[in-house]
Amino acid sequence: MKKVMGWIAAAALIASAAGAQETAYKTWNDGKTDYVPLGSKVSISADAIPEGAGTIVYSYNSGELTDYTAPVELTEEGTVSINYGTRNAWGEVSNMQLYTAVVDGTAPVVKYMLNGPVYADANGVTYVTQKTSVRVFGEDAGSGTEHVYVSVNGGEETDLVYTGVLPMGNVADGDVALSFYAVDRVGNTSAASSVSVVNDNVGPTAEITLSTEPLVINGVNYVNPTTEISVAATDDLSGVKDIYVSVNGADFARYQEVLLPAAGVDSCSVRAYAVDNLDNKGEIVELQFSTNLVLPVPTVVCGTDEAIQAAAAAPAEDTTVPADTAVTDEAAAEPAALSTTTEDTTADVVDAADEEVVVDEGL
């Protein structure tokens, strides 16, 4: 009698999961063991056995030998063993062989991790940047994960089984919907999972404000030294994390309270920027101003209208003391003499003690 032949006949079933592509079930061998999907059937055959000469027999997981009449369905997960052979008309069993397989009916568990800048707000919204990557993988204790499919905003699926990483640098800013599922080596397909994130790559907008309006003279902002300088920032997505300021070119430091300018300074500068909760840095804004508002020294001109008009048209005298000129206390105490023009009346002035008073009694 010829040797009995046996093999696995994997049912041509189709797996369909929500959002997943259709995947055919199949048998996979790791070099030693067959891995088969749940519901596969084992078909045992032999060359034609003369009628009445004997039958094909088998035992399932070391059970009782049974005459083989139809393919054996594998309805339980795990390792199965099938002993099979022939039994002749006199009850003699021969040609016994063993077939083992691992029945895998469980789809991979698909998981994801966000690597890089990530921020979740109080409302549960997750924010990422172009520096963030999404690692998607499937965990499977049976035949192992063969495919991990990811789609972005309902677009084309990408298999990440080899790279495992989706870089967000290739994804447009704004709301992002990620959908993914995994398939193992025998075709078990997980249900689709999804996650929504917001891709945020824009820093906050900083603004410098004054408690009083500056005076703008010849393009220069003059600020009262009692003015409070405040810095604020806004961010439409992940929100403002910190504000940094620099005064008169100093290193940037974290902004904590309002600033008060020093008095009598010709040129002041306040620069500021903000970062959001993903450390996106906003643009630097700057305010330049002066607290040294100096008015010219007034002069007095006494005379005719023509003289006043001429004096008004004349260039103003520079009363600034040169920086290298030493000013003594005596000089400082003496006010500068006013330069005026008056009529000479010296001849008409008479000492009252020497004047003879003549009384005209006739008046």
**Sheet hosting strand 109-115, strand order edge to edge:** 109-115, 133-139, 165-167
The pLDDT assigned to 351 comes to 40
Instruction: Give span(s): CATH 2.60.40.10, the chain.
Output: 5-104, 109-199
Token readout for 22 is 């259709």
Q: Distance between CA atoms of 208 and 288, rounded to whole angstroms?
A: 11
Mean pLDDT, rounded, for 169-194:
95
Per-residue pLDDT band at 170 (split at 50, 70, 90): confident
The pLDDT assigned to 2 comes to 36
Q: Which tens digits make up the pLDDT trace of 130-169?
A: 999 999 999 999 999 999 999 999 999 999 998 889 999 9
In contact, 109 and 190? CB cutoff 8 Å: yes
Q: What average pLDDT is seen over the chain?
A: 83
Q: Which residues contact 44 (CB under 8 A, 6 or more apart)?
A: 4, 5, 6, 56, 58, 68, 71, 72, 82, 84
Phi, psi dihedrals of residue 100, rounded to the nearest 5°: -125, 150
Of 10-19, 33-42, 97-106, 173-182, the poorest mean pLDDT is in: 10-19
Pick the residue with more confidence: 71 or 308?
71
Q: Distance between CA atoms of 302 and 340, rounded to whole angstroms?
A: 7
Choose which CATH entry (2.60.120, 2.60.40, 2.40.50, 3.30.410) describes domain 205-289: 2.60.40
The pLDDT assigned to 13 comes to 31
Q: Which tens digits make up the pLDDT trace of 242-286?
A: 999 999 999 999 999 999 999 999 999 999 999 999 999 999 999
Q: Distance between CA atoms of 201 and 280, rounded to whole angstroms?
A: 6
pTM exceeds 0.75, yes or no: no
CATH topology assigned to domain 5-104 = Immunoglobulin-like (2.60.40)
Three-state DSSP at 305 gives helix
Per-residue pLDDT band at 81 (split at 50, 70, 90): very high
Q: Distance between CA atoms of 80 and 360, rounded to whole angstroms?
A: 159
CATH architecture of 109-199: Sandwich (2.60)
Task: Tally the C-alpha atoms within 13 A of residue 296's C-alpha that lie toward its C-beta.
Answer: 6
Mean pLDDT, rounded, for 298-322:
75
Report whether pLDDT(324) > 70. no
Per-residue pLDDT band at 305 (split at 50, 70, 90): confident
Q: Which tens digits make up the pLDDT trace of 11-52?
A: 323 333 333 445 578 999 999 999 999 999 999 998 888 989
Query: Cα torsion at 320, 325, 326, 327 (round to 10°)?
Result: -20
Q: Distance between CA atoms of 336 and 332, rounded to whole angstroms?
A: 9
Mean pLDDT, rounded, for 337-356:
34
The pLDDT assigned to 68 comes to 95
CA-wise closest residue to 107 among 189, 181, 185, 37: 189
Three-state DSSP at 331 gives helix
CA-wise closest residue to 147 among 182, 103, 110, 96: 182
Report whether pLDDT(192) > 90. yes
Query: Cα torsion at 11, 17, 22, 28 (round to 10°)?
Result: -50
Mean pLDDT, rounded, for 222-240:
96
Mean pLDDT, rounded, for 293-319:
80
Q: What DSSP element (H or E) covers 181? A: strand 174-184
